[in-house]
Amino acid sequence: MEQAILRINNISGQLTGKCPFKAHGGEVGKCPYKVGGISGQNLDQSKAWSLINVTAGNVESVTPIKVLVTGAAGQIAYSLMFMIASGQMFGPHQPVILHLLDIPKMADALKGVVMELQDCSYPLLHSVVATTDIQTAFLHINVAILVGAFPRGPGMQRKDLLKVNVSIFKEQGEALNKYASRGVKVLVVGNPANTNALTALMKASDLPTSNFSALTRLDQNRAQSMISEKVGVNVDNVRNVIIWGNHSQTQVPDVNHGYILNCPNRGLIEPIQSSVNDDKWLNEQFIPLVQNRGATVIAARKLSSAASAANAIVGHVRDWLLGTKDGEHVSMAVYSDGSYNVPKGLIFSFPVTCRNGQWSIVQGLKINSSTQQKIDATTKELQEEKETAMSFLN
Active site residues: 247
Alpha-carbon Rg for the chain in angstroms: 21
| Phi then psi dihedrals of residue 247, to 5 deg | -80, 80
Neighbours of 298 (CB within 10 A): 12
For every residue of 263-329, DSSP letters joined together read -SSTTEEEEHHHHH--HHHIIIIIHHHHHTHHHHHHHHHSS---HHHHHHHHHHHHHHHH-PPTT--
Give Cβ neighbours of residue 75 (< 8 Å, ≥ 6 apart): 303, 304, 306
CB 3 within 8 A of CB 131: yes
How far apart are the C-alpha atoms of 293 and 305, rounded to whole Å? 9
Query: Residue 210: CB partners within 8 Å, gap ≥ 6?
Result: 334, 335, 358, 359
Measured CA distances, 162 to 247, 263, 291, 384 (Å): 14, 44, 20, 11
Strand-pairing partners, residue 128, are: 6, 98
